[in-house]
Chains A and B, each alone.
Chain A
Amino acid sequence: MTQPSLWRVLEPKWRTALQRIREERLRGGSGKLLTLTVVGVAFWIGVFGAFYLILKYFRGVEDVGPLLAAKVLGVVLLAFVGILVLSNVITALSSFFLAKDLDLLVSAPVDWLRLYLAKLGETLLHSSWMVALMAVPILTAYGVIYRGGPLFAPFAVLTLFPMLVLPAVAGSALTLVLVNVFPARRTRDLLSIVALGAAGVVVLLFRLIRPERLASPEGFRNLLDWVAVLRTPTSPFLPSEWATKATMGFLQGANDPLPLVLLWTTAAGAVTLGALLHRQLYATGFTKAQEGAERFVRGGLWRRTVGTLLAFLPVAKREFVLKDIKLFFRDTTQWSQLILLAVLVVVYLFNIKMLPLHRGEPVGFFYVTLVSFLNLGLAGFVLAAIAARFIFPAVSLEGRHMWLLRSSPLDLKTLLWSKYWVGTVPLLTLALLLTGLTNVLLQVRPFMMVVGMLTIVALTFAIAALALGFGALYPQFETENAAQIPTSFGGLVYMMATIALLGAVLRALWTAVYAYVRAVYEGQPVVVDAWMISWFAVAAALCAAATALPLWVGLRRMERFEF
């Protein structure tokens, strides 16, 4: 029997993607496309600009310059490979074992090799597109600075492609083995914890070894030691190192084909081995993947603790909050992200601690106050990103259950109220922790401590409301994976709105804070006058509007939802 082409096997996927684009266009999606293009291009230009400046500086440094440029490329590509392995493992689990089209494909007379190649291609595309896009401005900067010429672009594609294939094969193979050992749904839980735990450890280690010391030769005993460290390959057996060597070789005119040959032969070998492993293990793995997780839950803990604490609330609100908390903590893919969050908080505070600020008064006071003030923006951005991940999807995740919520006498205000507080309380705890600890580490004066804490509280209320409001305005009811929801167009608009709010609030506060800094700097008494209070009032009004308006708009939008 003639086998269908790979294109045909993947038809449900690409047809769905095309249909989505068509629907977007019908819904007047040209505005969205324009916004995405503008943001994407701005991001590309930003990345390109940063690398251009760094590489231009390196090119000016004799002897060591190319070594530094190669080192930076090596580290960037190594980071890409690390991200790719993790994302491929998680994507492979969905595409090879949990995707909805698998029942059809597995029951159809499609041979194992076609199924493997189709699903590998799908995994590769889903997990690598972001990295591939990110690589474009970086490699362009290398090409421009080292005058790679028109042939550099195809050469870069030729180098990057096998580097993307290898993590896809490795991730798929690892998933295949794991699914054969654990049930797929349990494997997903396990992978989420392991992957995020590993990512957390890597981030933590990377930060704690303080890589910034590499850039300052004065930290080494002599220049030769420093050059020796730069010359040592980061990872001689990893594809990122071969890709670095191939790229830098091309740019410096060294015609050594070995790195490229290594990349392609290893990729080809890996795909072959991966296919053989797939032939051996896929059928049993797929069968195991059909097993349910079957977990026995008593669930009295939340009722006794949170339930008792919320006893003053009406029963519908209380049970709604309890339900949301239970769903969050029983879904490993959700709570495991808290591991990474904890690590990021530690890294954040570590960075603040490492800042060389207390080197003398009164310059120390000025910088401490400035950093404490700017930290409000940074903390606000971190909170916005966390709200994007955990609060923005809240309305979308109710999509499949709206039949129940809308046919019951539950008031939509109750629903929104519960979602808001379930998201806001933990976010507020984190906000106070970040700002409070940072200010303690910075040893700021009471004025900045009070301003900082009040501002972050007001900002947190607004950020949570914006996340929930935009989540209701741009719902993604068909997406089952909560992690994909913030990367939608609505998520982007929400982030842009939040950044605008942060900018406006900080601008309003700056006038008041500047008056305070100047008074202290000049040894004058700090006077909280009408002028200062009016700027605090502007910041408060902005936060209040950014809290009330999105919730109101979100509620109106939810009333018009149809299922």
Chain B
Amino acid sequence: MIRLENLTKHYGSFVAVDDVSLEVSRGVLYGFLGPNGAGKTTTLRMIAGILRPTDGRVLLGGDDVHRDPIAAKQRLGFIPDRPFVYDKLTGAEFLRFVAALYGQEGDTVDRRVAELLEVFELTSWKDELVEAYSHGMRQKLIISSALIHRPEYIVVDEPMVGLDPKAARLLKDIFRQFASRGGTVLMSTHTLEVAEAMCDRVAIIQHGKIVAEGTVDDLRRQHRAGDASLEELFLKLTGGAQVRELAEVLGHGADGAS
């Protein structure tokens, strides 16, 4: 189980994440939604142990990420939004390096590396330096690296960015299977159709606070939204008026141009 207790993060006087509490059970695929700058990435980076919370704590299967980081992180696979990888390593070397960070080596790792590269269609690139990879290929490599040590929890920030439709579909299937086998996935995404189709539960965060949480049906009921789509619900909760304003601005621009 992933558990956030009163998680708070301040940057100077700016409150990026404000007293967030959340629980993601085993076998659940959980969507973490919110507009740009709402605090999604900060929250996910605190869960991954990259940022230290100002207050509150993160528990991964009972282990506190910041008090007992080694035990907690051993169970975690993190996929960031920006695929920074060592440019001068080959794809296969990178995966072996990541496995080593989790204390794994030998034939089992070699087989796992070959398997993952095959699944993500990177086998023919395995001995190329990462600097020659496209953005999508790097993203696939990072996803592979998060799976190399067979984690119990996957925390993923914008998983679909840069992926071609085939890889995006593959990733959805992987996450679904992972959750159905008892794994836990917490993912932030802007692709609301994906969240609606894939996620068992969602949370919507705005200005660092959770403004809605539950299944999509729960949210519809809570906000009396009838059979509205998740996109409509999201806009209602996070300021759809801005979207209308944007449409107006674009409309004026187009008028001006014509």
Task: Look across to chain A and name the residue whose beta carbon is closest to the beta carbon of B109.
Answer: A315
Segment at the A interface, from B66-74, B175-183, B192-200, B232-240: B66-74
Q: Interface 1/0s, chain A 29-46, versus B by CB < 8 A?
A: 000000000000000000
Bound-state Cα–Cα, A408 to B52, Å: 15
The answer on a CB contact under 8 Å between B128 and A295 is: yes
Q: A297-B90, A326-B93, A403-B80 are in contact. Are A408 and B102 (CB under 8 A)?
A: yes
Task: Look across to chain A and name the residue whose beta carbon is closest to the beta carbon of B48.
Answer: A407
Bound-state Cα–Cα, A315 to B109, Å: 12
B52, B71, B78, B84: the one contacting A407 at CB < 8 Å is: B78
Interface size class of A (residues with CB under 8 A): 35 or more
A563 at interface by CB-CB < 8 Å: yes
Contacting residues, chain B, for A528 (C-beta < 8 A):
none
Task: Look across to chain A and name the residue whose beta carbon is closest to the beta carbon of B155.
Answer: A407
Task: Look across to chain B and name the residue whose beta carbon is closest to the beta carbon of A400.
Answer: B84
Q: Interface 1/0s, chain B 200-227, versus A by CB < 8 A?
A: 0000000000000000000000000000
| Shortest Cβ distance from residue A560 to the other chain B in the assembled complex, whole angstroms | 7
Bound-state Cα–Cα, A297 to B88, Å: 10
B250 at interface by CB-CB < 8 Å: no
Contacting residues, chain B, for A330 (C-beta < 8 A):
88, 129
Contacting residues, chain A, for B90 (C-beta < 8 A):
297, 299
Bound-state Cα–Cα, A295 to B69, Å: 37
The answer on a CB contact under 8 Å between B128 and A299 is: no
A318 at interface by CB-CB < 8 Å: yes
The answer on a CB contact under 8 Å between B101 and A404 is: yes
The answer on a CB contact under 8 Å between B73 and A560 is: no
The answer on a CB contact under 8 Å between B88 and A326 is: yes
Interface positions, chain B 96-141, Cβ under 8 Å from A, are: 96-98, 100-105, 127-129, 131-132
The answer on a CB contact under 8 Å between B45 and A563 is: yes
Contacting residues, chain A, for B145 (C-beta < 8 A):
404
Contacting residues, chain B, for A296 (C-beta < 8 A):
127-128
Residue from A297, A407, A560 whose CB has the most chain B CB atoms within 10 Å: A407
The answer on a CB contact under 8 Å between B127 and A298 is: yes
Task: Look across to chain A and name the residue whose beta carbon is closest to the beta carbon of B65.
Answer: A407
Interface positions, chain B 27-85, Cβ under 8 Å from A, are: 45, 48-52, 69-71, 73-74, 76, 78, 80, 84-85
The interface of chain A, by Cβ under 8 A from chain B, is 185, 292-299, 314-316, 318-320, 323, 326-327, 330-331, 400-411, 560, 562-563
CB pairs A–B below 8 angstroms (30 shown): A295-B132, A296-B128, A297-B128, A297-B129, A299-B127, A315-B103, A315-B104, A318-B100, A319-B96, A319-B97, A319-B100, A320-B97, A320-B100, A323-B93, A327-B86, A327-B89, A330-B88, A330-B129, A331-B88, A400-B84, A403-B50, A404-B98, A407-B49, A408-B98, A408-B101, A409-B73, A409-B101, A409-B102, A409-B103, A563-B50
Please provide the 6 A-B residue pairs with the shortest distance between their CB atoms, ordered closest to farther.
A319-B100, A407-B78, A407-B48, A408-B101, A400-B84, A330-B88
